[in-house]
Chain A
Amino acid sequence: MTTPTDPTSADPGNFDAYFQSREDTLRWYREMLRIRRFEELAARSYTRGKISGFLHLYIGQEAIAVATKEVLQPADRVVSAYRTHGFALALGSDPRACMAELYGKATGLVAGVGGSMHFFDRAHQLWGGYAIVGNHSPVAAGHAFASKYLKDGGVTLCFLGDGALAIGPTHEGWTLAGLWKLPIVYVVENNRYSMGTPLSRSVPVDDITLKAPGYGMISDRFRVTSVAETAERLGAIVKRAREESKPALVELITYRFRGHSMSDPGKYRGKEEVEEWRRWDPLERTYRALHEHHGLSEDELEALDAEVVDEMEAAVEFAEESPVPEPEARFRNITIES
């Protein structure tokens, strides 16, 4: 299977320039693994009935969140949709608070009022957490508007799925971003499916960046196969947004290995397709780069994995032992006394 944006090296085992630094490769591997192990344990808790509601997993797309952290400066903001665990963890949120949020506990990231789809962590530059498809597009433009108004030098990175392309607010946010030349980068995480509907049945064109010129945006488009390449190309666009106040559209071609949410077995796609994408799984490739190119032994990598699992198991334990919100909590933060 090919896509128009197959990486230049057709061999997933070709560890090109993007895996040259042992130190960076190891760090990124660890960060991606943290997200994957966190979500695997969340899925386990979900099937055990400890977590309820909707749980949308990021498994397969972790490199994007980790690359985002790489390009971020202190005044920047990350706004995402409802598949947000990866961003929270990559940006530095406490996995214990993240897990406790999924459990609906008082110690959760937003004290148990939001759940999986509504992660916000201002201290770590995570500005949502939006669960109504597309409605964060104009809000993110508003953050960029404020950056321009206050001259704070910040860029807003607004992530959305390919499933958010048809709905109106996406278009209105992009229109105002372009019209007012806001320092914002809209990143479409094109994981090929809007829930169970493939791209070909939900978007009129295959190349989403064809839309960019109509909004006065610069654009880039590539398949995510490593943290380094994603950070490099995303970074270049973010830099232009910052320096020239130029809105941009980036299409990242990626793949989620799990269903849309926990209730989705993913029967709409073949095993062969999933296996083909697995060969390009950035996490898997990074493992192989560490093992085959940088000479880390299986035991060393296993030990690293065990450390990460320990961290995430501790998060699960923390969530399970945390108290539920006190009854009075439901009256908090509705309006502010003026």
Chain B
Amino acid sequence: MPEIQIRHAIRDAMREEMERDDRVFLVGEEVGYYNGAYKCSEGLLDLFGERRVIDAPIAETGFAGVGIGAAMCGLRPIVEFMTFNFSAVAFDQILNNAAKIHHMTNGQFSVPIVFRGPNAAAHMLGSTHSQAFEPFYAHVPGLIVIAVATAYDAKGLLKSAIRDPNPVVFLESELMYSVKGEVPEEEYLIPIGVADTKRAGDDVTVITWGQGVPVALKAAELAAAEGIECDVIDLRTLRPLDTEAVLESVRRTNRAVVLFHGWPYGGVGGEIIARIQEMAFDHLDAPVLRVCYEDVPMPYAENLEHLVLPTPERGLEAIREVAYRR
């Protein structure tokens, strides 16, 4: 299998779906002539022209809303946010229009749209450009939320997202766009709502997604060196959540750590832990721990940022703690 970068997996997914379906178009800042701020849309303008690869001015509410309105008419928009931090100014469009129109029109309309772009902290961008948005969107009934960590998952899930009849928030990672991974040459789709075990083990369950995945895998590697084998579950979809995959693992390991990029307060990590204690309480041998951002705005200074971020070392510490190997 050829190895490609995640940004190219994303581009290939968009290209294939645009070739397959004329209703699919891409809109966002710098997606056309500039070939994408992170080059995820490289070459698409040349292939599909200005009708389908549309450079938008800096107006996230505007072009997110246009995407929603077009989706209601039967088109299949892909809306790129240069970073999900900028989705904050389009939040009302996603919260009140994309997520609710199907419901509030009693099914007269649907909104098949994908909002995609990089999410969570990259490196020294400061607090306004380092936020993880999954708790904001996973909170909302009516939205699908996906976070990907490999080229294979990015391509297969983005293709499914584009074909999905619902509004999908598709979270990528600036830090990981150049990470390479194997992607089959033949077409494939990955179903939404299905987690993937990225590493198998029977001692501790590590639940993770998106930018947390490589951190969790590294932590699991460090733990293995100490004789603790981790089951690393990449959720891939945060809403709907593959609760059964989490429970199956926790019932086996009796211990769990949730490792993710994002704040602890009111987050997806807390939701997962709530479900574990509700549905697998009797199986737990230790309190479930979170490894994530510290509960502070992201500082710019490299040393401070490093302290706030989840690291393999902090992951290892938590794994040891739930395994009572301190």
User: Contact residues of A with B, CB < 8 Å?
Assistant: 109-111, 113-114, 118, 120-122, 127-130, 132, 135, 137-147, 149-150, 168-169, 172-173, 175-176, 179-180, 332-336, 338
A138 touches B61 (CB 8 A): yes
Complex CA gap A338/B190 in Å reads 13
Q: Are A132 and B25 in contact (CB under 8 A)?
A: no
Known: A122-B108, A175-B62, A332-B107. A169 touches B72 (CB 8 A): no
Contact call B107/A145, Cβ cutoff below 8 A: no
Cβ–Cβ contact A122 & B109, under 8 A: yes
Q: A145 — which chain B residues lie within 8 A by C-beta?
A: 66, 69-70
Contact, CB under 8 Å: A338 / B66: no
A138-B62 contact in complex given A143-B72, A145-B69, C-beta closer than 8 Å = yes
State whether B61 touches A149 (Cβ < 8 A): no
Q: How far is the CA of A6 from the CA of B108 in the complex (A)?
A: 41
Q: How far is the CA of A275 from the CA of B153 in the complex (A)?
A: 67
Q: Report which B residues bind A (CB closer than 8 A).
A: 25, 51, 54, 56-57, 59, 61-75, 92-93, 96-97, 102-110, 141-142, 144, 160, 163-166, 192, 240
Which listed residue (B62, B106, B110) contacts A169, Cβ 8 A?
Answer: B62
Contact of B106 among A111, A130, A146 (CB under 8 A): A111
Neighbouring A residues of B62 by C-beta, 8 Å? 138, 141, 169, 172-173, 175-176
From B61, B68, B105, A120 is in contact (CB under 8 Å) with B105
Minimum Cβ distance to chain A for residue B131 (Å): 21
- Give Cα A143–Cα B67 distance, bound, in whole angstroms: 9
Q: Given A114-B104, A336-B166, check contact A146 B61 (CB 8 Å).
A: no
CA distance A120 to B104 in the complex (A): 8
Give B221 Cβ to nearest chain A Cβ, in Å: 36
Additional A-B contacts beyond A135-B92, A335-B240 (18; CB < 8 A): A109-B106, A118-B104, A120-B108, A120-B109, A135-B65, A138-B64, A138-B65, A138-B69, A141-B66, A142-B67, A142-B73, A147-B73, A172-B59, A175-B59, A176-B57, A176-B63, A334-B141, A334-B142
Instruction: Tell me if A139 and B72 are in contact (CB < 8 A).
Output: yes
* B97 contacts across to A, CB distance below 8 A: 130, 135, 139
Contact in complex: A175, B57 (CB < 8 Å): yes
Smallest distance from the beta carbon of B270 to chain A beta carbons, Å? 22
Best-surrounded residue of A120, A127, A173, A338 (most CB of chain B within 10 A): A338
For the complex, give the distance between the alpha carbons of A334 and B56 in Å.
Answer: 30
Contacts of B107 in A (CB 8 A): 332-333
Q: Is the CB of A110 within 8 A of B65?
A: no
How many angstroms from the CA of A127 to the CA of B70 in the assembled complex? Answer: 12
- Name the residue in B59, B64, B166 with the highest tally of chain A Cβ atoms < 10 Å from its Cβ: B59
Q: Report the minimal beta-carbon distance from B247 to chain A, rounded to whole angstroms.
A: 22
Determine the distance from Cα of A3 to Cα of B46 in the docked complex, in whole angstroms: 53
| A298 CA / B158 CA spacing, docked (Å) | 67
Known contacts A146-B74, A333-B107: A138-B63 contact under CB 8 Å: yes
A115 to chain B, nearest CB (A): 9
Q: Assess A135 versus B96: contact at CB under 8 Å? Given A145-B69, A173-B65, A175-B57.
A: yes
Which of A147, A149, A169, A333 contacts B65, CB < 8 Å?
Answer: A169
Contact A172 B69 (CB under 8 A): no
Measured between beta carbons, the chain B residues less than 8 angstroms from A132 are: 92, 96
Q: What is the chain A residue whose CB lies nearest that of B144?
A: A335
**Nearest A residue (CB) for B89:** A168
Q: Which of A118, A130, A140, A176 has a CB less than 8 Å from the CB of B59?
A: A176
- Residues B108 and A110 in contact, CB atoms below 8 Å apart: yes
Q: Which residue of A lies closest to B193 (CB)?
A: A338
Given A118-B104, A138-B63, A146 contacting B73 (CB threshold 8 A): yes
**Given known contacts A149-B51, A338-B166, A172 and B65 CB-to-CB distance under 8 angstroms:** yes
Which residues of B have CB within 8 Å of A143?
69-70, 72-73
The answer to whether B192 touches A338 (Cβ under 8 A) is yes
CB-CB under 8 A from B57, the residues of chain A are 175-176, 179
